[in-house]
């Protein structure tokens, strides 16, 4: 879907003696704005330096459409392939960081700078070698990435003659001027030259026709092609305009080139505006127009001529345009882009080395979907984590929703929904881009003996196998359960599989957040064994409280225990069985647990 101008410029009465031109109308595909958004977030950031982009125009549009210059998602790739029979146009993108900069930018200076470059290419002869230098454009933009409002203003610099261009012979259709066989010869010669040069279209070309033969050549071969300057000189221009009495914008700068190079020896030039339309499978160029103009004599000095080119807005005034893409975007994709926005902004100035991909791709297993589990899950989503799995065996009670933000009153009805399943479902409602799962299962614990019935034993074995499978499938394990002993088995399994474990526990006005140590791989341990035996223990004993301890030497939640974990809920009153803590503590501990994970992942060995 393209966003652009729907207006068609109709100049005044065609009987006027001065030549007038139909300006370009900008057509920006939604893919261009998407690509600009990605470039701005990930590559340009705060960089406002000009960028080279590529568009194209087409001379085969149906009648009634304006002469469009189109930018697509491939505009930033200079090596991208063009569509068949489209002509490339190269331009400069000025993308501003603020709307105020966009409004206050010196448009006159930008136009003059681009016009001077075109003029220099004409004087130096570079435009003869590469005629695409005549069809440059400017694009001034500001992207409001929070609201998906994109402000832009196009400029198609065109150098002007002081007194304009006078018409000698008015424009007529090619079909009214030449026989069909000569028109077919022109079309064949054009196709052969395009094929020979390996290009999709010729922006400008030279023409000689005699009776039934037509010969065309490249612009740079002017001197050899027109050895007899006394004869009529005919040039062709790839013309995107559909109007029957007016040429398109690309002719303007070419006439400046012709006047500068050959104005002293040429009185007039015949111009063919080449239009190549395919309707119902039939190719036709008979609607192309041909006319003759008088070249002004000695009107161009050494200085760059006056230039025009800023595009009018939808109201017909001189001003920028704006397009809002939020309504036409997939809401889920829009949510994903918005979630990533604040994270990517961190990389612009505050933390340029932040590796977001490592955080976003981390697969997190949350053992416990209570007060801590809800807080950790919300913070993980804030960091852009896309894979979150809950494990819990409890159901939502009426006391939960006020402290556990993933649940609401309706979840408590009819005995309450399983916490793990409800939490996973709520995450997907909050942000559809997250992949969340819930498992309603128990974790076998020391001090809590399993009934010796076959059914209970089979279920316990099944729970252990599933827990081991889940830990193996995730990168980070969060221990967020109510009791101390419930953390023992996951800690042992995670240590055996070398998984990063983050442990969080609450008191009334205290909390603990810690990471478990991560053993070195066996092959690395054997290589370092001599060094470790000689100095490992002494280093730890002699180190100060604030020394950095290697991660592989850190302990776990149970390393200082002198007895095995037992049943911490037996013979306890209600206030001792429940986790009684200050309501704000879980959010603090949950946030710190996630921030600890992020810090570890950003370590070179994380």
CA separation for the pair 473, 460 (Å, rounded): 20
Q: Where do the DSSP E strands lie in 393-491? A: 435-440, 476-479
Residue with tokens 């109201």: 315
For residue 469, the cross-strand partners are none
CA separation for the pair 105, 100 (Å, rounded): 8
Q: Which of 109, 58, 110, 104 is nearest to 84 (CA)?
A: 58
Phi/psi for 563 (5° steps) reads: -130, 160
CA separation for the pair 502, 491 (Å, rounded): 10
| 86-96 and 137-144 beta bridge pairing | parallel
| 213-218 and 204-210 beta bridge pairing | antiparallel
For residue 514, the cross-strand partners are 503
| 511-515 and 500-506 beta bridge pairing | antiparallel
Relative orientation angle of helices 251-262 and 107-124, to the nearest 10 degrees: 40
For residue 268, the cross-strand partners are 294
Q: Which of 271, 249, 241, 240 is nearest to 177 (CA)?
A: 271
Tell me the two tokens of residue 49: 């330096």
Question: Could you write out the DSSP letters of every residue in 118-175?
Answer: HHHHHHHTHHHH-GGGGS-EEEEEEEETTTTEEEEEEEEEEE--TT--EEEEEEEEHH
CA separation for the pair 306, 312 (Å, rounded): 18
Tell me the two tokens of residue 456: 């209970």
CA separation for the pair 165, 212 (Å, rounded): 31
Q: What is the DSSP letter of 23?
A: P
CA separation for the pair 286, 180 (Å, rounded): 8
CA separation for the pair 269, 361 (Å, rounded): 64
Contact 145, 40 (CB under 8 A): yes
Catalytic residues, by residue number, are 578
CA distances from 358 to 381, 399, 603 (A): 14, 37, 11
Q: How far apart are the first and last CA of the chain?
A: 43
CA separation for the pair 226, 203 (Å, rounded): 19
Q: Which of 248, 201, 218 is nearest to 81 (CA)?
A: 201
How many Cα atoms are found within 13 Å in the side-chain-facing hemisphere of 151? 14
Contact 169, 292 (CB under 8 A): yes
- 399: helix, coil or strand? coil
CA of residue 391 relative to chain centroid, distance: 36
Residue with tokens 């066996």: 522
């Amino acid at each position: 879907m393209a966003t652009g101008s729907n207006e068609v410029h109709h100049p005044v009465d065609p009987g006027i003696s001065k030549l007038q031109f139909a300006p370009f109308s900008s057509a920006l595909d939604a893919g261009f704005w998407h690509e600009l958004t990605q470039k701005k977030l990930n590559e340009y950031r705060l960089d406002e330096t000009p960028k080279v982009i590529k568009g194209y125009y087409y001379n085969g549009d149906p009648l009634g459409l304006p002469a469009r210059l189109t930018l697509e998602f491939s505009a930033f790739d200079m090596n991208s392939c063009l569509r068949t029979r489209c002509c490339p146009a190269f331009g400069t993108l000025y993308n501003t960081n603020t709307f105020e900069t966009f409004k206050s930018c010196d448009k006159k200076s930008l136009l003059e700078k681009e016009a001077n470059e075109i003029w220099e290419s004409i004087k130096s002869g570079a435009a003869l070698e590469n005629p695409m230098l005549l069809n440059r454009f400017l694009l001034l933009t500001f992207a409001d990435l929070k609201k998906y409002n994109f402000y832009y203003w196009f400029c198609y610099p065109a150098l002007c003659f002081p007194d304009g261009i006078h018409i000698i012979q008015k424009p007529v259709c090619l079909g009214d001027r030449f026989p069909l066989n000569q028109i077919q010869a022109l079309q064949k010669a054009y196709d052969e030259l395009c094929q020979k040069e390996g290009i999709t279209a010729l922006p400008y070309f030279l023409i000689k026709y005699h009776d039934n033969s037509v010969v065309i050549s490249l612009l740079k071969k002017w001197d050899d092609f027109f050895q007899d300057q006394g004869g009529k000189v005919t040039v062709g221009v790839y013309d995107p305009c559909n109007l029957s009495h007016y040429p398109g914008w690309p002719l303007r700068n070419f006439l400046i080139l012709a006047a500068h190079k050959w104005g002293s020896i040429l009185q007039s030039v015949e111009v063919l505006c080449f239009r190549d339309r395919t309707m119902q499978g039939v190719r036709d160029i008979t609607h192309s127009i041909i006319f003759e103009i008088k070249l002004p004599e000695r009107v161009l000095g050494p200085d760059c001529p006056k230039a025009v080119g800023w595009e009018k807005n939808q109201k017909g005034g001189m001003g920028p345009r704006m397009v809002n893409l939020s309504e036409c975007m997939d809401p889920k994709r829009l949510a994903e882009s918005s979630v990533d926005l604040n994270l990517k902004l961190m990389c612009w100035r505050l933390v340029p080395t932040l590796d977001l991909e490592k955080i976003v791709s981390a697969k997190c297993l949350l053992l416990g979907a209570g007060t801590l589990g809800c807080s950790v899950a919300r913070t993980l989503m804030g960091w852009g984590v896309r894979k979150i799995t809950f494990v819990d065996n409890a159901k939502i009670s009426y006391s939960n929703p006020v402290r556990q933000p993933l649940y609401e009153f309706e979840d408590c009805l009819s005995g309450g929904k399983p916490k793990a399943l409800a939490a996973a479902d709520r995450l997907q409602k909050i942000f559809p881009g997250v992949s969340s799962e819930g498992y309603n299962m128990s974790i076998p614990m020391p001090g809590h003996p399993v009934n010796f019935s076959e059914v209970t034993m089979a279920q316990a074995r099944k729970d252990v196998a599933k827990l081991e499978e889940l830990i193996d499938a995730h990168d980070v394990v969060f221990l967020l359960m109510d009791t101390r002993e419930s953390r023992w088995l996951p800690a042992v399994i995670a240590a055996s599989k070398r998984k990063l474990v983050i442990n969080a526990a609450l008191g009334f006005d205290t909390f603990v957040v810690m990471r478990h140590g991560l053993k070195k791989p066996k092959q690395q341990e054997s290589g370092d064994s001599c060094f470790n035996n000689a100095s490992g223990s002494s280093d730890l004993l002699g180190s100060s409280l604030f020394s950095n301890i290697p991660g592989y030497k850190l302990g776990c939640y149970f390393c200082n225990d002198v007895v095995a974990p037992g049943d911490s809920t037996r013979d306890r009153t209600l206030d001792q069985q429940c986790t009684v803590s200050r309501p704000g503590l879980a959010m603090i501990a949950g946030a710190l647990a996630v921030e600890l994970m992020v810090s570890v992942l950003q370590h070179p060995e994380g």
